Structure formats: C-alpha cells, structure tokens
Amino acid sequence: MDHRLQARERLRKLPEAQRAAWLDIAEDEFMAFGFEAASLNRILARAAISKGQAYYYFADKGELYRAVIERAFDEFVDLLEVAPTEPENTAAYWQQIAALFGKVTTILQRNNRLAEIGRGIYREARAQAAIVDLLERLHTQLARLIETGQRLGAVRADLPLGLLTSMAFAALREADQWFALNARDHDQQTALALNRRVFTVFAAMLAPSAGTCTTVPPATSS
Amino acid sequence: MDHRLQARERLRKLPEAQRAAWLDIAEDEFMAFGFEAASLNRILARAAISKGQAYYYFADKGELYRAVIERAFDEFVDLLEVAPTEPENTAAYWQQIAALFGKVTTILQRNNRLAEIGRGIYREARAQAAIVDLLERLHTQLARLIETGQRLGAVRADLPLGLLTSMAFAALREADQWFALNARDHDQQTALALNRRVFTVFAAMLAPSAGTCTTVPPATSS
DNA sequence: GACAAGATTAGACCGGTGGTCTAAATTCGG
DNA sequence: CCGAATTTAGACCACCGGTCTAATCTTGTC
C-alpha cells in the first residue's frame, strides 16, 4: 500500500498547472465515457504523459480517477460553505436540513459539471471502489446529520442509522437523476415546485413513524 | 438490429439442455465477477463454445448477460405468483402492497441466488444497459402498482409517477443491499422487525403528504 | 567541475479483452 | 447424391490496463 501513497504524494507535489492540466483531461475522458470505458491510454496520449510517468504519479487507473473526484469534491465543499451550527429543536433542525437541501440543489443546478461528476460515481461499482475512502467520509457526514435529528426526536430512531441514511440518500440520488433526465421538460418554476415536493418525500422517510402517517403494518411472510 | 434478434431466436431454439448448461456457466461467471469483469472468453472455454458458435447465438457479451437475467427474471415471476386483483379502497391497497412486499422479501431471503443476481444488475451501468428492455418492463409494473394507489388516494399524486416510483424503488434496493451486507449481524427475529420498519419508511414515502406528517417546507434556494 | 546516487521519463512489452472474419464442416431438402 | 443453407472452428484484430528495463535528467558532495 505504500506504493499508492507514495505515488499520491508525488502527484500532489507536482506543479499546480501541470497537475490541473492532467486532471482536466482525465476528467474529460472519465465524464465522457464513465470510469470503465474511459481509456487510460487515450488520456495519456492526450495529455502527453508516458506510461512510465503515469505509473510514477498514480498507482493505477482508479487512483487517477480518485484524484479527479477528490478535486471536484473539494470544489463542491468550497461552494457549500457549510455552517456547523447545532440546532436546538425539531423546527430548527428541519430548517437547517431544508436549507442544506436547497443549497445543494442550486449548486448542482448551476454547476452541471460537478453534478455530472457526482452522478457518474454512482453509475459504476468500480468507480465507487476506487474512491471508497471519499465516499465513506461523505456517508459519515450524512449519517452525522441524521443522527443529530434522532437526538432531537426529529428523525425516527427505530432503524439503524446506516440503513436509514442509505435509503434516504439513495432516494435523493435517484430524484437527482430523474431531474437530470427530465430537465428539459420543465421550466424553472415547476422544477422548483417539484424539488420542494421531493424534499417532502425525503422528510417523510425520516420523520418518526408513530401515529398517523403509516397506518398499515406489512404482512408477515408466509 | 435484425442481427441481434436473429441470434436471440437461434439461442431460444437451442435444445433446452444445452441452453441451460450454457446459461448456468455464464450466470456463474457473471455472478462471480460482475458484468464487466466477467470474461466472455472464460465462459466460452468453460462451456466449450467456440467463438464462431458464440457470436452465432448471441450478438455480444451483453446479449448473453441478458439471456441469463431473463431466465432468472422468469424464475422470479414464477415464484411470485402475482394475483392481479384490483383493490377497492385504501386499506385493501396497502394490504396488497404489504403482502407483495412480504412475498418478495421471503423469496429473496430463501433464494439467495436470485437475490444476488438482482443486486448485480444495479451495481453496473453497463449491465443495466444490456437489459434495458427488461428493466423497463419491471419499472412499468411498479409504476402501475403505484398508480393504482394514486387512483385510490392511497398514494400521493403531487409528483410525477416515474419520479416517485424511482425514488421508492431505489430506497428499497438500498435497503435490500444493506440487509445483504449486514445479514450475519441479525437473527431472524430482529431481521423481520427491521424489515417491517423498512416497509414503514417505504409507505411513508408514498403516503399523501397533506397534513400531519411533513411539517416544514424546504427553504427556497438563495 | 566531476561524479555518484537518486529521481524521473520513455516506450517496448505482456497477457488478456471483446469482437470479426474466413473457411471448413455439417445438415438438410429435392 | 448433390447443392444450398446452416452451423462451427479458431486464427486474427485493435485495444486494454499494467510491468519493466534502460536511459536520462537532477542534485548534493568533494
């Protein structure tokens, strides 16, 4: 594993301009073809990197992909400017979540490049495997957010945190993809309205289930 | 495109035993490595199929995968024995949905092979692309189910059918995967309880949002 | 400034991939 | 029994990600 980190370090120490140029070209290829179908050889040719050079600065194709994604991820976090205030009650909690939801939405709407990069990740298992540490960090953040809600009683606590987080996150990703596919069918007005309703679904998933909402228990298996 | 269907037809007309033997081996490879990493050459070697034979009976790797999945899909449908009764009110509707949910759950629990095949599909975009027509059929069925709920007022109708379907289905897939990964941590008792709660989340997603459940509107984007 | 040691680069090379193609073998109707 | 159509064999292709060696630069030291 030392080899991987060694190469990572070398890539990091490269002159900013060169590194950026390489990653630009790699990003272009990865976004155009996806992780698997992207051709490393093509990237190297376009960027005028020799094979020897390549494997000196990143251990394999996955590591190059990781570098691309990490850069995009950092960009995204910069745009997000997250304010880490602890909400004190349910109302404040939901307000904070809603604000975050809105912010993410507008960032992705305005920055289609970042949005597409993010979608690309979840389309291919091997892409996810290549950046597993980054995804873990993201998932941890989301889980922390939801856990806060649980402590306040704003979020149902009868399911394992990881399970609930995964389900909610998956639903949101799917919604994002739906919007990406059906974007041209909606003007900004209706898109916003739809977006609000998606949040409603999201909130319903997390809300404590006691009482009115869910009336029917599932059937036991035969 | 004619070529594809021609080959498909030839595969279909093959003696049952031979076809089954081929698909068994192909399924084995696909499940062991996933669609992309599965080696067609390895399958052909194991099954003693020559290259010429191979491309005579299926147009490409994706078509062989499709044949494997289609067979599994048919098996699954057989096990499901779906009863197409139209529910007449909300309670009956939810009862039917819950029953279906339970049935699917137990089928997948008891038939790990089918479960793994299903999971494999959603792990790789190119696998999905290879069986896009089958997935469309499945999605249509799910949408029909949810549409019925909408007509009864049991399911919220303020979102496009496809969007709501996709979100709910994605959440369930994610839950299934979570169970697959964390299966050994739970005895059958608690697994069942968890399963019930997952259904609760699912139901909350679909339930009409008016009123009590969702209290806070999302923030507008800045 | 010479020179050794380490860092960096070039690119031939490797086994493997999915897919194509030609020619032979086999099957089958008349 | 023959000619036409179907079916099979496997050599061949471009390309893939990755390895390896030898050459070339860079740098510190005397």
The most distant pair of C-alpha atoms in chain A lies apart, rounded to whole Å, by 65
Mark whether B51 and B122 lie in a shared domain.
Answer: no
Are B161 and B200 found together in one domain? yes
Asked if residue B135 is part of any domain, the answer here is yes
Substitution target in B97, B167, B179, B196 with the highest count of A β-carbons within 10 Å is B167
pLDDT of residue A185: 87
Q: Is the distance between the Cβ of B56 and the closest atom of strand D smaller than 7 Å?
A: yes
pLDDT-derived band at A210, boundaries 50, 70, 90: low
Looking at every residue in chain A, the average pLDDT score rounds to 93
Same domain? For A86 and A196 the reply is yes
Q: What percent of chain B has pLDDT over 90?
A: 88
- Partners of residue B124 on adjacent β-strands: A124
A61: domain CATH number is 1.10.10.60
Torsion angle, CA of B212/B216/B217/B219, rounded to 10 degrees? Answer: -170
Tell me: do A9 and A93 sit in the same domain: no
Same domain membership, residue B90 and residue B61: no
Lowest mean pLDDT among A15-24, A148-157, A185-194: A185-194
For the cut 90, the answer to whether the pLDDT of residue A4 exceeds it is yes
What's the CA gap between B76 and B103, in Å, rounded? 11
Confidence of residue A1 (pLDDT cuts 50, 70, 90): low
Residues B54 and B139 in one domain: no
pLDDT of residue B185: 87
Over residues A41-52, the pLDDT tens digits come to 999 999 999 999
Which one of B175, B199, B216 has the shortest CB-CB distance to A98?
B216
The total number of structural domains that make up chain B = 2
What's the pLDDT at A35?
98
Chain B interface disruption, residue of A159, A163, A169, most B CBs within 10 A: A163
A63 and A105 housed in the same domain: no
User: Does a structural domain hold residue A221?
Assistant: no
End-to-end CA distance of chain B: 49
* pLDDT for A183: 86
Q: Residue by residue, what is the 3-state secondary structure of chain A?
A: CHHHHHHHHHHHHCCHHHHHHHHHHHHHHHHHHHHHHCCHHHHHHHHCCCHHHHHHHCCCHHHHHHHHHHHHHHHHHHHHCCCCCCCCCHHHHHHHHHHHHHHHHHHHHHCHHHHHHHHHHCCEHHHHHHCHHHHHHHHHHHHHHHHHHHHHCCCCCCCCHHHHHHHHHHHHHHHHHHHHHCHHHCCHHHHHHHHHHHHHHHHHHHCCCCCCCCCCCCCCCC
Listed residue (B126, B132, B124, B10) closest to B59, CA to CA: B10
**Torsions phi, psi of B124, nearest 5?**
-135, 125
Residue A111: inside a domain: yes
Asked if the structure places residue B217 within a domain, the reply is no
CATH number at residue B159: 1.10.357.10
Scanning every residue of chain B, which has its alpha carbon at the shortest distance from the alpha carbon of A209?
B200
Q: Which residues of chain A neighbour B217 with C-beta distances below 8 Å? A: 98, 196, 199
What integer pLDDT is reported at residue B138 of this predicted model?
98
Q: What is the Cα gyration radius of chain A?
A: 21
Mean pLDDT of chain B: 93
pLDDT > 70 fraction of chain A, expressed in percent and rounded: 94
A177: chain B residues, CB-CB within 8 Å: 166
Higher pLDDT, B196 or A209: B196
DSSP code of residue B200: H
What is the model's pTM? Answer: 0.92
Same domain, A103 and A14: no
Binned at pLDDT 50, 70 and 90, residue B217 comes out as very low
Chain B window 16-45: residues with CB closer than 7 Å to nucleic chain D are none
Distances (CA, A) of A190 to A104, A183, B161, B180: 18, 11, 15, 38
Using a CB-CB distance cutoff of 8 angstroms, which residues of chain A are in contact with residue B103?
Answer: 221-222
Same domain, B86 and B107: yes
Task: Answer whether A201 sits within 8 Å of B125, measured CB to CB.
Answer: no
pLDDT of amino acid B183 = 86
Q: Do A171 and B173 touch (CB under 8 A)?
A: no
Tokens matching residue B163:
């969007």
CA-CA distance, A188 to A49, in Å (whole number)? 43
Comparing CA positions, the residue from A174, A118, A135, A218 lying closest to residue B171 is A174
If asked whether residues A13 and A96 sit together in one domain, one would say: no
Whether the pLDDT of residue A84 is over 80: the answer is no
B179, B180, B186, B190 alpha-carbon torsion, rounded to 10°: 40
Tell me: the pLDDT tens digits for B60-77? 999 999 999 999 999 999
Scanning every strand, the nucleotide with its C1' closest to A54's CA turns out to be: C9
What value does the mean pLDDT take over residues A151-160?
A: 97
Query: CA–C1' span, B167 to C26, in Å?
Result: 54
> Which residue range forms the structural domain that includes residue A134?
81-206
Residue B53 lies in a domain: yes
Q: Would the CB atoms of A212 and B213 count as touching at under 8 Å? A: yes
Distance of CA B78 to the CA centre of its chain: 14
CA of B67 to C1' of D7 (A): 20
Would you tell me how many other CB atoms lie within 10 Å of the CB of residue A53? 13
Q: Is residue A148 a contact partner of residue A93, using CB atoms and an 8 Å limit?
A: yes
Mean pLDDT of the region A50-73: 98
In-domain check, residue A56:
yes
State yes or no: pLDDT of B109 exceeds 80: yes
pLDDT of residue A216: 43
Q: Is the pLDDT of residue B222 over 70?
A: no
B contacts of A205 (beta carbons < 8 Å): 171, 201, 204-205
Residue of B nearest to A110 (CA): B221
B158-192 pLDDT per residue, tens: 999 999 999 999 999 999 999 999 988 888 899 99
Average confidence (pLDDT) over A70-82: 96
Q: Are B86 and B8 found together in one domain? A: no
